[in-house]
Amino acid sequence: MTVHVFLGPSLPLPAAHALLETAHFHPPAAAGDIYAVARILGAGDRILLIDGLFEQTAAVWHKELLFALERGVALYGASSMGALRAAELDAFGMIGIGRIYAAISRGELTDDDEVAVVHADATQGYRSLSAAMVSLRFGLAGLRDSGVLVPKAHDHLVAAMKALPYAERSWPAAIAEARRIGLGATALDGLRLSASSDAKSADARAALSRVAMEEGASTLPSRVDFTLNRTSFWTALTADRDARDGEDFGLDGAALDLLRAVDPARDAIMERATLMAFAASTLPHWHPQPADLAAAAGRLARVNRLSTRTALAAWRERNQVSDPERWQALLSMEARVAELVARFAPSLGRFAAAAAVTTDRSSAVRELAVRAAAAFGSNYAGRLTATDHAIDVTLLQQWYEGRCGPMWPDPERHARSLGFDGLRPLLGHMVAAYLLEASDAFDDPGLDPAQQPLAGARA
């Protein structure tokens, strides 16, 4: 299960991390962002929408939230854009959290500008540069209910703040207005104390705490069953987002369509893309180390038969991944795939057997297993060694790398990534296969002895 959170000015990121350490945090959501995450998620995964963009770009669509719900994703909303969308979609299963959501859901708040703020950019952590009307409203109501503000003064200040453009709303503006209408020291002191209260921050904290509490829950919140109507507008949104994502690696929408339509390697590419997407969603907090990235680069070079640095550089240029940032992103994807395979390898037996059938390797592997057992006995993997059979270790390594590639990032980790409990059993299987292949070479009378690379394997 993975948790994705869209967060901006409602709460500083360090505070959010402290409340929900396992979450993958994203900037405030714009149109297409929820879809981009939800398309690789499914039942058991969770999305918490807190902040979203709206004026400088199209806001989050309701349909992409419904798309997430349709896929079985548990969807939460709170504080800001999340509270608005949750109030609009709670009948479909979106879960609203907090005082702001409750007020919108009850119809007490009806304007989107109640949660709007102007904020800094990503370099400054999206910090708020104005106060949300809902925070002013709730703070002023608290002063009225405690007797610090008389109802008439309360109503005046609420109306005055509401009349301001959302970017100009602030507690200093409320204090200035209180002075202008002659409120006393008690009221002014109360306003200054209230300036530290923030309804959006409180709701964001409540939402993060709830998702953290429910993170390990065995059951998901119930939802209303429905089928998303995939209109032409929805198709246009998803196609545009997919195309923009493809441009990160040099393919625009038209090129992606051609790839899906007629490329001879399409099926293999789509299977690899699915594995990359699954790795990205399953391991959002796993960060490859330099050795992992180097291994990924080595695998790419081997798969594409690039034997020199010059060839690799030309390949990167041709595929538009010469830019260091793109190259690192690509290597990270490849490294995550390798890590995912390593984690799943011990439990992939049934699937590996099925995959061997679909790739027409099942009979060959089965025959090799029968021959190995006949030649070396059962449980041979723990007994066979290169030394006992006078095998040159350098030749064995060359044979293995020519057959399966290098042992990246090191032999022990490589063996464990294949599902073995260490290097020893892998070496046993290597020796068995090596000896059988050497035997086949010697038993072929038509083979030129000069073409017998494994001749030195037999004592």
Domain ranges of the chain: 3-123+201-214, 133-197, 263-347, 360-457
Instruction: Return the pLDDT at 239.
Output: 74
Mean pLDDT on 79-100: 94
The amino acid at residue 392 is D
Instruction: Return the pLDDT at 391.
Output: 92
Render pLDDT for 343-389 as a digit per residue (tens, 0 to 9).
998 888 888 899 899 989 999 999 999 999 999 998 898 889 999 88
Instruction: Return the pLDDT at 319.
Output: 92
**Which SS3 state, helix, strand or coil, does residue 219 take?**
coil
C-beta neighbour count of 183 within 10 angstroms: 20
Mean pLDDT on 310-332: 91
Strand positions, DSSP E, 165-241: none
Across the strands, what pairs with 26? 6
Alpha carbons within 13 angstroms on the beta-carbon side of residue 365 total 11
Stretch among 69-83, 347-361, 442-456 having the lowest mean pLDDT: 442-456
Q: pLDDT-derived band of residue 286, with 50, 70 and 90 as boundaries?
A: confident
Mean pLDDT, rounded, of the chain: 87
- Whole-angstrom distance, CA of residue 199 vs CA of residue 138: 7
Mean pLDDT on 126-155: 93
Q: pLDDT-derived band of residue 452, with 50, 70 and 90 as boundaries?
A: very low
Q: In this structure, are residues 88 and 62 in contact, taking their beta carbons and an 8 Å threshold?
A: yes
Q: In what order do the strands lie in the sheet with 3-6?
A: 24-26, 3-6, 46-49, 74-78, 95-97
Q: pLDDT-derived band of residue 174, with 50, 70 and 90 as boundaries?
A: very high
Q: Which CATH architecture has domain 3-123+201-214?
A: 3-Layer(aba) Sandwich (3.40)
- Whole-angstrom distance, CA of residue 374 vs CA of residue 336: 39
- Whole-angstrom distance, CA of residue 218 vs CA of residue 179: 55
The candidate with the shortest Cα–Cα distance to 157, out of 139, 110, 165, 147, is 139
Q: pLDDT at residue 444 above 80? A: no
Q: What are phi and psi of 76, to 5 degrees?
A: -115, 150
> The pTM is what?
0.61
